[in-house]
Amino acid sequence: MPKYVIEREIPGASKLTTAQLKEISQTSNGVIHDMGPEIQWLHSYVAGDKIYCVYISPDEETIREHAKRGGFPANTISEVANIIDPVTAE
């Protein structure tokens, strides 16, 4: 199944408290539970005014539906073409 990186523009994202991040995570998990096993949230990076989320999903529309139901922005959705790391150079 395809993997996606979602860029969410959230002013002050890096200043969100642990409690606020927990609440956002709980909301996302609840929506994923309701939508079924086709969509999976792997992890997210909080940086500046953005949150970058990595998801496995059958398509971009499923990610947009998750964002809509959860009340999250999904400003950019990019399908991951490849993953590279230091081992790639070997």
Locate the domains of the chain by residue range. 3-81
**How far is Cα 71 from Cα 76, in angstroms, rounded to an integer?**
15
Question: What is the rounded distance in angstroms from the CA atom of residue 23 to the CA atom of residue 37?
Answer: 21
CATH fold of 3-81 reads Alpha-Beta Plaits (3.30.70)
Q: Per-residue pLDDT tens for 27-82?
A: 999 999 999 999 999 999 999 999 999 999 999 999 999 999 999 999 999 999 99
pLDDT in tens, 11-23: 999 999 999 999 9
List of residues 6+ apart from 29 with CB closer than 8 A: 41
